[in-house]
Every structure is written in C-alpha cells, then in structure tokens.
Structure 1
Amino acid sequence: MARPLTKRNEEGELYVRPSVVEAEIDGAMLDDLPTLRRRLLVVDKAASDFLRSETLVHLIRHAVLTGNAERRDVVLPVLLGRCEAILKGKVSYRLPNAETLREYVLSEFSELLAADGTKEQLDELDFYECRFNLAFCALRIDVVRRELAEVNGGAAIPDENGSDEPQAYEDAVAVLSTSLANSETQQSPVYLEELLAAIDALPPDERKAVVLVHVMGYDEESEDPDKVTAATLCNCTGRTIRNRLSRAAAKLSRFKEDA
C-alpha cells in the first residue's frame, strides 16, 4: 500500500493522490524486478501496464527509504529520461542558454530526489506524486525565471505573435495552477481544466498582464525609470496594466463564485 503523503496545502489539508495513481502505485509496489523492468519499457500511456510519472516518483522514494538501490537504479533513469524529453519540448531554444537551463532544471530535480526525507526536504516531493507535470512545470519555470532575471536586469516574455513562440505562456498558466492544488481542485480536475482554459482564452494583452504580474511577479509599474515592470515590458502605462488585470479578473470571477 502506498505510503501516506504528509505535505499540507495552505489551508492545512493533506495533499491527496488521484485515485488512479493510488491504485497504480499499489499494483507496482507488488511487481518483482523483471516485471517492473518490462513495465518501464511501455511508452503507450493508454496501455494497462504503463506507469505514470507520479508512480515512478513514489517507487524511487520508497526504494531510497528502504535502501533498495537496485530498484531505485532501475526506475530513476526512466523518470529522468521523461524529464529530459519534457525539457527539450518546453525550454525553447530562443531562451538564453537553453541547454544550460535544461541542465539546471534536471539537476535541481535530481537534488530533490536525493534529499527526499531529510529535514530540509521532508515532503517536498509529495506534490509530484499528485500532479507530476504541474510540479515539474513549476520547477522549470522557477529556474528559467531566475536565470532570465539575471539577464539585463529583467526578462521579457517572448512575442506571443511570433511563429516560433516558445512555451512561456503554457508554462506560466500551468504554474499558476499550482496555487489551486488544494483538495478541491485535486478532486475536481474539470474545474481546474476549465479555469486554465479560461485564462488561456483571455485576449493576448490581458493574458500577458496576468502572467507578468501574477505569475512572474513583476510590479505593475514603478517610479524608477530603469526598473523592468509589466508596464515597461508591454510598452504601456501602469494604468493600462491595471485595466487589463481588472478586465481579466472580471472574466474569471465566475470561478471564484463557483468554488
């Protein structure tokens, strides 16, 4: 049986794995090593033997906890391989030092795995067992954001109208959803998907304002003419940014009412 999660959200509620992940973990924990090796080769997500990344995280954590290095070393390369594939598709070549950024993200994730269960990282990986893609997305955006913040004092979001647009907005909207990772949204994936779709469907100027201010943390404006803000990145006034945020909030208000 899967070890219970201990991490709590901002409301003090325990994180909860989706039932399908819980069941898959319970089954995989009973697999002998040859069976596990065979299942790890399955890449068709619709196949009954396919193992989700959430399950792989649990298997690695359990192997480390029980001192089963052989089982850990069988699962770990597969999970890291999936992470590398995600990073190749999500961290655009248009970003400065894209290859280095990918290495940074993979390194930080590996460090999380290595430090799991320690006083510093007691339950940091719990969310990865619930929503791996969202958790890994948040990690890579954090790394990319830190790196870009060091370039010329700030980072401009790539032009969304470009034919080669990287995944900046998809990533940013996804990381925004981590703040919604409470028990209700975990039990109601339709609610979360509808909210993310609504954010993504905002007019480009409103969506960009939301991403810059509420995801990337830029100030709306500043009296310092040299400071990079949402207004400077959008080449408009702070008042315009606030108007865009207000319009976006009005369109998203029904989700607060329905929550």
Structure 2
Amino acid sequence: MSAPLKRKDQQGVTYQRPAEIEVWISKLETVDAGERLSQFALPKKSLSYVPSEVLVYFLRRAWGAADHEVFEKTFRLLLARVDRSLRSRLWDSDIGNASDICDEIISRFVLLITNDCNSDKGLLDFYEIRFDRAICTIRASVLRKFYTEVGDVILVPFDHQDIDGAPLSAEVEATLDNYLSDESSKIDDPAFRIALFSAIDQLPHDQRQVIGLRLKGIPVQSNDPSVMTIARMLQCDDRTVRNRSARALKSLKAALEEEVGK
C-alpha cells in the first residue's frame, strides 16, 4: 500500500493521489526495481509509459529505504523527462537564452528534491498529484525572474499576487469563462492560474503586452482622454489591440484546454 501524503490544500483537506496514479503504484510495487526502472525509461509514446507522478513516489521511497542506487537512477530518468519537456517548450527570446532558463528551472527542481529528502514536510507531495502543473509553477517563477532582470515593465504586467489570489479583471475572467464553459470554476484554482500565466509567458511579445495589461484591468479604449488605455500605452489604435487580444486568447484557449485536460 502506498504511503499517504502529508500536505493539505487550502481547504485543509489532505492531498490524495489520483486513482490512476495509485493503480500504477500498486502495479509497480509488485515488480523488482530493475523492471520498474526499465518501465520508467520507456518513451512517452509507449502504451506502458509510466506517469511522472509515479516516478516521484518511487524516488522518494528509494531515498527513505536508503537505496541510493535506485534513487540515483530514478532521479536521472525523472530529470531527463523534465529537461526534454522544457527544451521542447522554451526558446531563445529577448528575456534570455532558453538553455539558461531550462537550467535554472531544473536547478530549482533539484534543490526541491534535495530539501524534500532532508525534510518530513512533504515538499514534493503535489508532484505526486499533478507533476506537470507543479513543474509549471517553477517555470512561471523562473520566467518572471528573467523578465524582471530585463527591466521591461510591460513585459512583466503581473506579479506574484496574480497567482496567489488577486482577482482577474472582469473582462478577462468573462472571456475565459466563455471559452472554458463548464471549466470556468478552475479560474479560482491556483494550479490553473499558474497554467494561465505560464501560457501567457509563451505568447509573442505584442500579444503578451496586451493580455498583461488587460489582466491589470486597463481598458482597451475610452472616450475620456484622461483615462489611460491599452491603445494609448502601446501607441496604436484600439482595433490593433483587439486583433492582438483575439490572437492571444485563441492561443491561450488551446494551451489551457490542453493543460486542464491533463
């Protein structure tokens, strides 16, 4: 039987692994370590591909059992997955070199694993529930750091409070509600908000500017010349702003629907 998780969500409910993860754990606990490692190494397209959440479970178990050989091999396989995923999603841009960004994300993940190994606080518990979203948290944090270092205020139109619970502007929330329909309640889910901001990070510069300013509640246009609008800030007409916004929301829809479907 798998060891229970320790951490709790915002409602005070102890984390529970998804049923399919528990099934994988139960199945792999019946085989020896060598066979498990062979399955861990299978490519993502394989029908027997093991979810990363399961690798985290067995990584932690190997550490607890002082099985350093299995721990190291599982650790390397898990890091290789993260590295491949990041390098397929990130690219060189005006905020920095993709390789540097990937290295920073992986370094933070390795540090988290190290801290988890030396703590009983369940620091990696969420990684056994939604691994991709947990990595997304680190990615979003690192990207914000690189944006800040660039020093372009418009490149960083939101801050840490955006993820921690500050309300989205009514306009953006309504837009998201429209295309997420039954999924609209996810806008209050911190993991979903992280996925949203990470998806925004991947937008082209001009679209990222518009969405970022909309998230701050700045209007596209106004008949009052004293009101600062997105069009005035970006020195373009409101039609250009709406076109950029429409293209951005189309991309966000595709990215978020893929994310919430995981």
Alignment match, 1:92: 91
Match of 1:51 in 2: 50
Q: Which has the higher contact order (CA 8 A, sep 6+)?
A: 1
Report how far residue 67 of structure 1 moved. 0.9
How much has 1:128 moved relative to structure 2? 0.9
Q: 1:154 to 1:219 in 2, by over 3 A?
A: farther
2:121 aligned with 1:122: yes
Deviation at 1:40, TM superposition (A): 2.1
Cα contact 1:134–1:178 (8 A) shared by 2:
no
Is the partner of 1:51 in helix, strand or coil? coil
> Given residue 105 of structure 2, which amino acid in structure 1 is its aligned partner?
V
Distance apart, 1:39 and its partner CA = 0.8
Structure 2 CA distance for partners of 1:44 and 1:107, relative to 1, 3 Å: closer
Code of the residue aligned with 1:64 in structure 2: it is W
Could you tell me whether the CA contact under 8 Å between 1:138 and 1:178 is conserved in 2?
no
TM-score scaled to structure 1, two decimals? Answer: 0.61
Q: CA RMSD in A?
A: 4.1
Instruction: Tell me what 2:2 maps to.
Output: 2
1:40–1:50 Cα contact (<8 Å) kept: yes
CA-to-aligned-CA distance 1:138-169 (integer Å, 9 cap, x gap):
11110111121121253627xxxxxxxxxxxx
Partner of 1:80: 79
CA distances 1:200-244 after superposition (whole Å, capped 9, x unpaired): 9xxx99997665676xxx6969xxxxxxxx9599638xxxx9xx9
Which residue in 1 is equivalent to 2:25? Answer: 25
Does the aligned pair in 1 maintain the 2:21–2:54 contact within 8 Å?
yes
CA shift for structure 1 position 18: 0.9
Letter in 1 for 2:62: A
Inter-partner Cα distance in structure 2 for 1:194 and 1:139: 20
Measure, in 1, the Cα distance between the counterparts of 2:67 and 2:186: 41
Match of 1:5, SS state, is coil
Distance, in Å, in 1 between the alignment partners of 2:66 and 2:54 is: 18
Which ranges in structure 2 are unaligned for 5 or more consecutive residues? 157-161, 167-181, 220-228, 236-240, 250-262
Amino acid at match of 1:116: D
Change (3 A) 1:155 1:62: farther
Size of the aligned set, in residue pairs, is 196
Structure 2 partner of 1:103: 103
Supply the AA of the counterpart residue of 1:124. L
